[in-house]
Amino acid sequence: MTPRKILVVDDDVKTVELVKLYLNRDGYKVLTAYDGTEALNLARQSHPDLIVLDLMLPGCDGLEICRILKNESDVPIIMLTARTTEDDKLAGLNLGADDYVTKPFSPRELAARVRVILRRLPEETLQRGPAEIKRGELTLNFLNREASIAGRALQLTPIEFKLLGVLAREPGRVFSREQLIEMVFGYDFEGFDRTVDVHILNLRRKLEPDPSRPRYIKTAYGAGYKFAGRAE
């Protein structure tokens, strides 16, 4: 299973290392940044699954970073700050922050809040990165949740769109059924691995010129599925 990526942003090195220690223990891959400009660049390049974001940062403050990133994606953000007033908290939440932790804080509690948010939300990797991508004749618009091929609109269910988005984000990467269940349905899904096969079959019927000889969604026998379309 691919570990989820958490971006921790704080100008205090000790705070960053403490949070990183606890998140590493939970199996996450932790990225770090110490100022606003670095945080924005890293978030856009690495597409983290969640961001722990300090409010007071050099370069660009946490509220502005939150506003910018929430306009670009739905990445969950936990604000981490010494500011404790109700107005400060509401400012972050109104910009789309998912949670708010005040300093001094318990790193165990913060790690627990990270787990709760990631468990509550399926891994929306389709929301990480560009709002639109093209793979050959296929176009996916993640803001409008629209898909088309050679200009023809595809009538996809929400699950089919999520599944296609996860695969198309990383052409050539093989995803196991377990990974796709986690990333599309969420951790708490109680169905069977073969549920993925059914959705792949339905997706191929809508997407492929010849579903029996798929061009886009390939089967990696014994391993899972991958997207084979050309990236543009």
pLDDT in tens, 143-154: 788 899 988 999
Indicate the pLDDT class of residue 199, thresholds 50, 70 and 90: confident
Instruction: Write the CATH number for 117.
Output: 3.40.50.2300
pLDDT on residue 61: 84
Instruction: Write the CATH number for 208.
Output: 1.10.10.10
Statement to judge: residues 207 and 221 lie in one domain: yes
Indicate the pLDDT class of residue 125, thresholds 50, 70 and 90: very low
- Residue 152 falls in which region: left (phi positive, over 0), alpha (psi -120 to 50) or beta: beta
Classify residue 232: in a domain, yes or no. no
| 35-48 per-position pLDDT tens digit | 999 999 999 888 89
pLDDT on residue 190: 44
Q: Which structural domain, as residue segments, surrounds residue 168?
A: 126-227
| Global confidence as pTM | 0.54
Statement to judge: residues 18 and 99 lie in one domain: yes
Res 188 pLDDT > 50: no
Classify residue 152: in a domain, yes or no. yes
Indicate the pLDDT class of residue 189, thresholds 50, 70 and 90: very low
Sign of the four-CA dihedral 44, 163, 24, 63:
positive
Classify residue 71: in a domain, yes or no. yes
E strand segments, the chain: 5-9, 29-33, 50-54, 77-81, 99-102, 132-135, 138-141, 146-149, 152-154, 217-220, 224-227
